[in-house]
C-alpha cells in the first residue's frame, strides 16, 4: 500500500537555529518526490521528521491522513535509507534484508523466502548468504533498498543514497531506483543536492534553500519556469543580469542593465521600479556574427575572458555585469571559433528564453 505525506506549516528549530521554516507540501500517493537543495538547507531535517527521528517544533506531518506526532520511527509506516546505507556488517545479506521481518516475529523459513524474493527484485538472487562486506558498492545499495522494502513501508525515504557511488554507477542506479519505484508502486521521498538525480528520477521536486521551500513542481517546470532567483541559479546553469524594471508590457518586462535594455518574460508580476534579475540559460545565448543586424533587442556586447574547447562544443566566458561571468557554448563547426580572448563580441537571446525574477540570493557555485 502506498500513502501520501502532508506537511502542514512544519517548522523545525534546533535552539535558535531554524532548520525548516513553515513547510507546506502535499506529496501524493505513489509519487517519486525529491527534495533538492544545497547541503544545510534543511532537506535531511524534513526527511528525519517524516521518518520520526525528530519532531516538528510546530506544524503537523500526516501520513495517509493521520497525524504522526508522538509516533516513533519504529511505529511509522516509513522506511529510511541512510546516506551511508547503515547495513549491519555482522549479519548476512539475507539477515540484513529480513531484519524488519525478524522484528515482526516472522518465522525463519518465511523470512528467508521473503528475503529471496527481494533478492530477485534487486537482481542479487542466491547471494543471501554472503556477508555485506563481500558486496560491491552498487550491490550494497540495492541490499539497503531491499532491507527497507522488506517491511512493506507505505513511504520509502532516501537520504542521498547514491552520493557515495562513482559517476557511472550513480547513473545506472538512477534508472534502477526509478524502476524499482515503479514496480513496487509506493511513495518515494528522495533527498539530494544533485540536480541531475532530481531531474531524471522525480515526478515532482521541491527546491529548498536555507530552510525554506522555494518552489515545487515537475522537472521541466523547475528548470523552465523558476519562480525565484535561487531556483533559477541552483537548477542548471544560468546567467544573471541585474537591473531595475523600467517597463512592463503584456507578458514581458524590460530591465535597465549595464549592457542596456534587456527584455524577458515577466512571470512573477514584477512592476516598474522593482529590483530584478533577468536570467538567460547558456543554451539560449548565441553569438551575433559580424555584420548581422537581424536581432533588434537583447544584445550584449562584452569582452571574451576565456575559451574552453570541449570537443563537440566550445565554452565561452565573457565579462558579466557582476563578478559572475557570462557563460555559453557554441557548437564546434569544425574550424574552431574566430574569436580570441580579449576581443569584444556581441551575443543575443530571444525574449521568450529569458525570465525576469525578483532580486534574491543566488545559489553558491
Partner 1 sequence: MSDFLSVFLAVVLALLVAPMLQKNTDTVWANLRQITFVKKNGVLVSTYLLGAVFIWVGLMIVAPQLYMVDFSFRDGAIGGNPDAYTLKNYSYLIFGRDSDENLFNLLHLQIFLKTILASVGVTLLAFLLCYPIAYYLAQSTKGGTTRLFLIALILPFWVNEILRAFAFRILFGSSGVINVTLMGMGILDEPIDFIKADVAMYAGLSYAYILLMVFPIYNAIESLDHNQIEAARDLGSPWWRIHYRVVIPYAKPGIASGCTMVFMLSAGALAVPQILGGPSSLWFTQIIYDWFFTGGDWSRGSAYAFVLLFSCIIFVLAVMKFFKVNLGELAK
Residue 155 near residue 50, CB atoms below 8 Å: yes
> 63: which residues sit within 8 A by CB, 6+ positions away?
3, 4, 5, 6, 50, 76, 77, 78, 154, 155
Which among 49-57, 206-214, 226-234, 293-301 is the span making contact with partner 1, rule CB under 8 A?
49-57
Minimum Å gap between C-beta 82 and partner 1 is 5
Q: Which candidate, 317, 313, 312, 309, places its Cα nearest to that of 330?
A: 313
Q: What share of the chain is helix, strand, coil (3-state, %, to 5)?
A: 25, 35, 40
> 301: which residues sit within 8 A by CB, 6+ positions away?
259, 344, 345, 346
Looking at the Cβ atoms of 1 and 103, the one nearer to partner 1 is 103
Strand, helix or coil for residue 264: strand
Q: Per CB under 8 A, does 26 bind partner 1?
A: no
Give the C-alpha separation, 296 to 206, whole Å: 38
Tell me the per-residue interface mask from 103 to 122 with partner 1, x by CB under 8 A, - otherwise: xx------------------
Minimum Å gap between C-beta 67 and partner 1 is 19
Looking at the Cβ atoms of 102 and 194, the one nearer to partner 1 is 102
Q: Per CB under 8 A, does 327 bind partner 1?
A: no
Task: Tell me which of 14, 88, 108, 309 binds partner 1, using CB under 8 A.
Answer: 88
Instruction: Specify the length of the chain in residues.
Output: 365
Q: Per CB under 8 A, does 265 bind partner 1?
A: no
Looking at the Cβ atoms of 8 and 102, the one nearer to partner 1 is 102
Minimum Å gap between C-beta 160 and partner 1 is 13
Which among 102-110, 291-299, 320-328, 340-348 is the span making contact with partner 1, rule CB under 8 A?
102-110
- Which runs of E-coded beta strand occur in 66-209? 66-67, 78-81, 155-159, 187-192, 204-209
Task: Tell me which of 32, 33, 99, 279 binds partner 1, using CB under 8 A.
Answer: 99
Give the C-alpha separation, 10 to 20, whole Å: 7
Q: Per CB under 8 A, does 252 bind partner 1?
A: no
Minimum Å gap between C-beta 79 and partner 1 is 6
Minimum Å gap between C-beta 92 and partner 1 is 12
Q: Per CB under 8 A, does 188 bind partner 1?
A: no
Three-class DSSP labels, 42-65:
CHHHHHHHHHCCCCCCEEEEEECC
Q: Per CB under 8 A, does 223 bind partner 1?
A: no
The cell numbers describing 131, all together, are 556477508
Strand, helix or coil for residue 358: strand
Give the C-alpha separation, 188 to 182, whole Å: 10
Q: Per CB under 8 A, does 147 bind partner 1?
A: yes
Which among 57-65, 73-81, 133-141, 244-252 is the span making contact with partner 1, rule CB under 8 A?
73-81
Interaction site with partner 1 (CB under 8 A): 51-53, 72-75, 78-80, 82-84, 86-91, 99-100, 102-104, 147-148, 151
Amino acid at each position: 500500500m502506498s500513502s501520501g505525506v502532508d506537511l502542514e506549516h512544519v517548522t523545525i528549530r534546533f535552539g535558535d537555529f531554524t532548520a525548516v521554516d513553515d513547510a507546506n507540501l502535499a506529496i501524493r500517493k505513489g509519487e517519486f518526490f525529491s527534495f533538492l537543495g544545497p547541503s544545510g538547507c534543511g532537506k535531511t531535517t524534513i526527511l528525519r521528521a517524516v521518518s520520526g527521528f525528530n519532531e516538528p517544533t510546530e506544524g503537523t506531518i500526516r501520513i495517509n491522513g493521520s497525524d504522526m506526532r508522538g509516533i516513533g520511527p519504529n511505529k511509522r509506516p516509513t522506511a529510511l535509507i541512510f546516506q551511508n546505507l547503515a547495513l549491519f556488517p555482522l549479519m548476512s545479506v539475507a539477515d540484513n534484508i529480513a531484519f524488519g521481518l525478524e522484528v515482526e516475529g516472522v518465522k525463519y523459513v518465511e523470512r528467508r523466502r521473503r528475503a529471496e524474493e527481494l533478492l530477485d527484485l534487486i537482481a542479487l538472487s542466491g547471494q543471501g548468504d554472503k556477508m555485506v562486506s563481500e558486496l560491491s558498492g552498487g550491490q550494497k545499495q540495492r541490499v539497503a533498498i531491499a532491507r527497507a522494502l522488506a517491511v512493506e513501508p507505505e513511504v520509502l525515504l532516501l537520504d542521498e543514497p547514491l552520493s557515495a557511488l562513482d559517476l557511472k554507477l550513480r547513473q545506472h542506479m538512477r534508472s534502477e531506483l526509478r524502476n524499482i519505484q515503479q514496480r513496487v508502486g509506493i511513495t518515494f521521498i528522495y533527498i539530494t543536492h544533485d540536480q541531475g538525480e532530481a531531474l531524471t528520477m522525480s515526478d515532482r521536486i521541491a527546491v529548498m534553500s536555507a530552510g525554506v521551500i522555494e518552489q515545487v513542481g515537475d522537472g521541466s517546470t523547475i528548470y523552465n519556469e523558476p519562480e525565484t532567483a535561487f531556483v533559477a541559479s541552483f537548477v542548471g546553469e544560468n546567467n544573471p543580469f541585474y537591473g531595475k524594471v523600467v517597463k512592463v508590457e503584456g507578458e514581458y518586462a524590460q530591465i535597465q542593465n549595464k549592457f542596456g535594455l534587456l527584455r524577458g518574460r515577466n512571470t512573477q508580476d514584477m512592476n516598474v521600479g522593482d529590483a530584478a534579475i533577468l536570467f538567460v540559460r547558456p543554451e539560449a545565448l548565441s553569438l551575433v556574427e559580424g555584420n548581422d543586424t537581424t536581432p533588434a533587442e537583447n544584445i550584449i556586447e562584452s569582452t571574451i575572458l576565456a575559451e574552453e574547447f570541449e570537443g563537440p562544443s566550445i565554452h565561452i566566458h565573457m565579462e558579466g555585469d557582476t563578478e559572475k561571468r557570462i557563460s555559453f557554448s557554441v557548437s564546434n563547426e569544425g574550424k574552431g571559433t574566430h574569436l580570441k580572448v580579449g576581443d569584444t563580441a556581441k551575443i543575443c537571446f530571444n525574449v521568450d528564453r529569458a525570465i525576469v525574477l525578483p532580486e534574491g540570493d543566488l545559489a553558491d557555485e
